Amino acid sequence: MPMTASSIWNRPAGKSDAPVDQAPGRARSFASACMALLLIAAGLGFATPAGAGESINKTVLARLTIAKWSKVEVLGGAALIQVTEADIRRGYLDLKEPTTLVVASNALGNYFAEIVPPGGFVKALRVSVDGRSFAFGAGGGGVSLRGTARAPSRDSFEIQYRIFFSENVTPGTYAWAPSVTVTVL
């Protein structure tokens, strides 16, 4: 198999065996090594003129693709929520503490976040991010997130939740751990 940037440094966004902090350095090191090899090859193969007074012009084209990566941190937010009789009569609960989503990436700050609420007591969900509101069913849904237009980027997004209850919910304490998956676009 030929050695390419994708065969050496190929990992889907958000998934990694290596710490994310090493990703930009590895990609940059690989790119530097490729460029050095191209310059050496050009120097060895094309530096000597074929004859007196003659010159040779060659063009070397190279293409390097660096795989996108991201690291996602979910900060804050309630781990447990208390559902009261008044909440059930109203039909929903607004979570007071927002969840902060911090995304570090080597891309230009365009992301897609899929949010899936825990099962059982959620009938629907309203998610507010950056002044925009999205309505999801019990299966969750996705939102586009726009961060900074530079790479690498470190963007944070504040997420507010309104939880609409299923018919069988009773007062009590519930675990609140929605699944959040971020994809770099």
SS3 76: strand
According to the model, what pLDDT value does residue 119 have? Answer: 83
Query: Hey, what domains does the chain have and what are their CATH numbers?
Result: 1-67 (no CATH), 70-184 (2.60.120)
Distance, CA of 34 to CA of 19 (rounded, Å): 23
According to the model, what pLDDT value does residue 17 have? Answer: 43
Kindly give, in sequence order, each residue whose CB lies less than 8 Å from that of residue 120, ignoring residues fewer than 6 positions away.
166, 174
Q: Can you tell me which residue has the tokens 């950056």?
A: 130
Please give the model's pTM, rounded to 2 decimal places. 0.65
Start-to-end CA span in the chain (Å)? 28
In Å, what is the CA distance from 170 to each residue of 116, 120, 162? 21, 11, 17
Listed as ranges, residues in the chain with pLDDT below 70 are 1-55
Q: What is the pLDDT of residues 77-106, one digit of tens each?
A: 889 999 999 999 999 999 999 999 999 988
* 32 phi, psi to nearest 5 deg: -65, -40
